[in-house]
Structure 1
Amino acid sequence: MTLAENQHATATWTKQYITGKWVEGSGDKMLENINPYSGEVIATWRSSSQDDIDQAYVSAQKSAVEWQATLPSVKEGVLRKMASLMDGRKEEIIQLLITESGSTRIKAEAEFAAAKRIVDESASFPFRMKGELLPSNTPGKENRVIREPKGVIGVIGPWNFPLHLCLRSVAPAIALGNGVVIKPASDTPITAGWLIADLFEQAGLPEGVLNVVAGSGSEIGDYFVKHPVPKVISFTGSTEVGKGIGKLAGEHLKETALELGGNNAMIVLEDADMEHAEQAAVFGKFLHQGQICMALNRIIVHENIYDQFVESFVNKTKSIQAGDPSDEKTLVGPLIRKKEVERLLELVKQATDEGAHLMLGGTHQENVLMPTVLADVKPEQPIVQQELFGPVAIIMKAKDEQQAIRLANDTPYGLSGSVFTGNLERGYQVAQQIESGMVHVNDQSVNDEAHVMFGGEKSSGLGRFGGDWAIDKFTRTRWISLQHQFREYPGVK
C-alpha cells in the first residue's frame, strides 16, 4: 500500500501528534518530505514550534504519572499488540521505508525485522524492573533500592534506519513506564515518527504518553534538548551534532544516550577464508548504500593476500545491482540527498589525486552513486579519517597483524569492527585490541540484536542500548530505607 492509497495516513501523517490528537503544526515553515530516488514530493507539512514542544512535553509528563502506575501486564499487552499490528502492516511499512528513506527492499526487510525484535524484547521489560534489598550496618534498618521510570524521554530520530533506530529508544522507554516525545528526522518524519505514533495509538497506548513533533533541527532542536521536562535525550546521528547535543544537555544536567558516527574497519588476516571475507565485506560496505553507522569504511588486508583480495572484491562488487530501491535485486539505492553524492565524489577525486587507485565506480545517476572501490589508500589521506556514509569502499594494505590493528585504531571513532581469520581464538585476541564497542569475528560489522548491548567508544557515542542495558538507561534507582526500631544518635539525648 502506498501513502497515496492509505487515506488514514494521508489525513494524519502530515500533522503533529500531541496529547493523543493529530494537529496542525504551529511553526512558520512548510516542509517537504521527498522521495530520494524519484525526487517526488511525498507530502508537505507545517513545522512544529516551541509551543508545540511545550505541549508535547507537558502531555508526556502528565500522562507518564498514570502510565507508570499501570499494571505491567497492561504495558506488556500494548507492546504485544503493537508487534502484531506491525506484522499485519508489514508490506505497508516496507513500502514506506523504500519511498521515504530510499531503502532497498533488502534493507527495508532487515529494518522491519530488527524493529519488530525491539518491540518484542521491550514487551518483557515491565517484568524485568528489579529492585534489591541490601543489608545495613545500622541496627533495625532495612535498605530498599527501588527501580522506576526516569519520567520523560526526548528521542531525536535518524533518517537512515528511521523506524528501527527510533523504536530502539521509544519502545523500551514506554515499556518501562516513561512518557516519550519524538522529534523525527525531517527527511523521514513518517517512519521515524508519525508511523510509530499511529501504531502505538492503535495498540491502545493511553493518550499523551507518546507525542511527535516534527520540524527543522536548526529551528527547534536546541529547545527540544534544553526543555526542562525531559530527563534523558536519546539521539542517533552524526558525531558533530551529537557533540552539540551532549554539550547542551550537560549545561542543563540532562542525561544523554548518544549513538553517533563510525569509521569501522574490517581486518582480513592472511589465514582468512577469502571467499567468506569478500562476501561479508561487500554486504557490510554496500547495504543501504553504506548509510549505516556500523557500515564498513576501511577494509585492511594482510599484504600476503592483498592483491588477490582486491581483484576478487572488485569482481564481487561488479555483480551487485544498483538503482531502483523497489527492485528486489537492488542492493545499492539512492543516497538521501544530492549533496551527499557530490560530497563523496569530491572525496574520491581527492583520494585519487593523492595516489589511491580507483578500481570501480566513481559515477552516479541522479542520487544513485554507483558502488565505488578505492585501493592502495594511505592512512594519512583525508578520506580514511572520516565517516563516509556512502557506497565507497576503501582497501588498505597491512604488513602484519599488529599493523592491521594499529590502522584499525587510527581513528577518533570506535563503534563497530570486524576480523576475519581461520583461527577463532586468534580473532578473539585481535578483537580485544580493537578500540571499538563492538567487534565481530568472521562476520562483517553490521550487526544488531535486540537483547544484546549496542554502543560505541571514543567519538562514536555514550551509553548502551539493547536488553538490560536499555533498562538501565531508561530507569533510575533510588535508596529508600526503613528504620524498624528506634535509633540512637551520638551526641543527642
Structure 2
Amino acid sequence: MTVLNEPATLLNGSAWTSHVFLGEWTPGSGGDYAVVEPATGKELARLGSATPGDVGRATARAVDAQRAWAAAGYQERAAVLRRAGALWEEHAAEIEEWIVREAGSVPPKAALEVRTAAQECYEAAALASHPVGEVLRSEQPRLSYSQRVPAGVVGVIAPFNFPLILAIRSVAPALALGNAVVLKPDPRTAVCGGVAIARIFEAAGLPAGLLSVLPGGADAGEALITDPAVRIIAFTGSTRAGRAVARLAGEHLKRVHLELGGNSALIVMADVDVARAASAGAFGSFTHQGQICMATGRHLVDRRIADDYVAALAERANRLPVGDPSGGQVALGPIIDVRQRDNVHRLVTASVDAGARLAAGGTYEDLFYRPTVLADVPLEAPAYAEEVFGPVAPVVAFDTADEAVALAADSEYGLSLGILSGDGLKALELAGRIPSGAVHINDQTVSDEAVIPFGGTGLSGNGSRMGGIAHNLEAYTETRWVTAQSELPEYPY
C-alpha cells in the first residue's frame, strides 16, 4: 500500500477539473459540464462527463486490479479503509462546504454526511477481517465448508440528495471485501458525491484501478449495468428509475440491490404531547427540504388531537427560515433544481384543488420552497398518495387504531414507519401489522446508521439490505462451496 502525501486540500480542483476518475484523472470522453450551486445558480466547478466508452475502460482496469486486491491480505484492505475514515475527519470542513453549496444542504446535514462517511469506512475496515465462511456437515467423509469470495466488480449508482452517504455506504464495504468499484454519482452532486470519494481513497493509498468515478448520463448508467465485468449493481434512486435498472439488470443476470422511493407514514396517537409530536413530524417532513426517501410523507393523526397537531405543525413551518445554507442560519435550503421544484408545487396545488386545506406554505421563490402543511387531505390527493420529495406534510385524521393501521398499510411503498404513542408496547403491536423496512417507535421516520441493515419493501426496493456486517457480506460477495478429502474415491464407472 502506497499512501500519498496528504494534500493540504482535497477539492481545490487542480487535479479533477473537467476530468473523470479512472484510477487517474483523465478528461471525460463526453466533454465537460458545469457544476451549479442550486441556491445561487453560480457555477462552482466543471467536471468531465463520462460516456459508455469510459465505463468500458474503467471496468477493464477494474478486472485486472481486483484480482490482486482480492489476493491481498485483509490487513492491507483494512488499513486503506481506516486511513480513509481518518481522512474524512481531517478534511471534514472542506467537504462539508461542498455539500452545503453543491447539494443545497444546511451545515448540520453536511456534517452528518461526512461523519457518516468516516464511520462507514471504519465499519468496512472491521468487515475486512470478519469470518467469511462456515464448516458444513457432509454425508461423506470429507471436509465441507462455505466460503464468501469477492464478487468482482461492483457498480454503484448514487443519487443527489445524500450524495456522500448514499455512495460511500456501498463503495466502502465493497472495497473492503476485495471488490473493485465503478461509481456513477448524480452529475448534479458529483463533486461531494464522487470527486471527494476518489480523492480520499487516492490519499488513503487505494491501488489504482480499483475505484473509478464516472458522472454521466443515462447511457453511462446503462453501460455500467450491462457491462459483462460488473457482477453487482447497487442503485439508490427513484422507483421509476429503479424499475428500469431492475429490468436491464435482470436481462443481463446481474444481482441488483434497489433502494428506492418511499411515502412513509407517521402515526400520532391521542396520548402524546402534541407539541413534541409536531416537532418530530416537522423534522420528518422538512429536513433537507423533504428530499429524503425516508421523509414523513403521511401524517396520520388521531382525530381528537388532529386540529391541535395541524396548528402546531403549521406554526413550526411558518417560522422555519428558508434560504441559502452557505449564507446564514437557515433550516431549509433550496430544492435541487427547477424540475423538482415544479413537481413539488404541482402536487401541492393539485392536492388543494382536490380539497386539501393549505395550513402553511405552498409558495416558493426561486428554488426555495416554503415548508408546507396540508390539512383535511383527501386520500386521493396527489401529495398524500404519491412521493413528493419536497417539504410537504399532508395530515389525515383517523378515529381508531385499526383505521390508522389500515391507512398506514395502504401504500405501495414500505420503507419507514414512525408511531408516536404513550404506550410503546401497543405501538409495537400496531407496527407488526404494517409492512415496512424500518420501524421507529416514538420517533419520526428519518433515521440511518452505518451499522444497521437498510432496505424497504414493495415499491421501496427489492427486499435486499445494505449495512451491518452480515448484510454487507451478503450484498457484496458470492458464496462458494468447497469440499476436500484425503483420498480419491472409487466410482462405479
Matched, 1:136 2:138: yes
Per the TM alignment, residue 19 of structure 1 is displaced from its structure 2 partner at its CA by 4.3
TM-score, structure 1 normalization: 0.95
Per the TM alignment, residue 485 of structure 1 is displaced from its structure 2 partner at its CA by 3.4
Paired residue for 1:25, among 9, 12, 28?
A: 28
Structure 2 residue aligned with 1:440: 440
- Which deviates further from its counterpart, 34-43 or 106-115? 106-115
Asked whether the 8 Å contact 2:18–2:46 carries over to 1, the reply is no
Matched AA of 1:64: Q
Alpha-carbon distance in 1 for matches of 2:329, 2:406: 37
Asked whether the 8 Å contact 1:416–1:445 carries over to 2, the reply is yes
Asked whether the 8 Å contact 1:18–1:59 carries over to 2, the reply is no
Per the TM alignment, residue 476 of structure 1 is displaced from its structure 2 partner at its CA by 1.3
Structure 1 residue aligned with 2:203: 202
Alpha-carbon distance in 2 for matches of 1:13, 1:46: 8
Deviations 1:133-158 (A, max 9, x none): 112111x2210211111111000111
Structure 1 residue aligned with 2:147: 146
Structure 2 residue aligned with 1:450: 450
The SS at the match of 1:374 is: strand
The SS at the match of 1:265 is: strand
Deviations 1:36-74 (A, max 9, x none): 100011122342122211110111111010111111111
Structure 1 residue aligned with 2:5: none
Structure 2 residue aligned with 1:13: 16
What are the within-5 Å matches in structure 2 for residues 84-483 of structure 1? 84-138=86-140, 140-217=141-218, 219-327=219-327, 329-462=329-462, 463-467=464-468, 468-483=470-485
Asked whether the 8 Å contact 2:318–2:361 carries over to 1, the reply is no
Per the TM alignment, residue 277 of structure 1 is displaced from its structure 2 partner at its CA by 1.4
Per the TM alignment, residue 318 of structure 1 is displaced from its structure 2 partner at its CA by 2.0
Deviations 1:116-143 (A, max 9, x none): 22112111011114211112111x2210
Matched AA of 1:21: E
Asked whether the 8 Å contact 1:106–1:331 carries over to 2, the reply is no
Alpha-carbon distance in 2 for matches of 1:404, 1:411: 13
Matched AA of 1:85: L
Equivalences, count: 484
Gaps of 5+ in 2: 1-7
Asked whether the 8 Å contact 1:141–1:485 carries over to 2, the reply is no
Asked whether the 8 Å contact 1:105–1:330 carries over to 2, the reply is no
The SS at the match of 1:450 is: coil
Asked whether the 8 Å contact 2:20–2:48 carries over to 1, the reply is no
Deviations 1:412-470 (A, max 9, x none): 11111100000110111111111110010001111101111100000101210111211
Matched AA of 1:222: E
Structure 2 residue aligned with 1:57: 59
The SS at the match of 2:189 is: coil
The SS at the match of 1:200 is: helix
Alpha-carbon distance in 1 for matches of 2:350, 2:432: 34
Alpha-carbon distance in 1 for matches of 2:16, 2:269: 49
- Which deviates further from its counterpart, 269-278 or 256-265? 269-278
The SS at the match of 2:230 is: coil
Provide the identity percentage.
39
Matched, 1:40 2:45: no
Asked whether the 8 Å contact 1:16–1:214 carries over to 2, the reply is no
Alpha-carbon distance in 2 for matches of 1:385, 1:291: 17
Matched AA of 2:96: I
Per the TM alignment, residue 328 of structure 1 is displaced from its structure 2 partner at its CA by 5.7
The SS at the match of 1:333 is: coil
Per the TM alignment, residue 26 of structure 1 is displaced from its structure 2 partner at its CA by 1.1
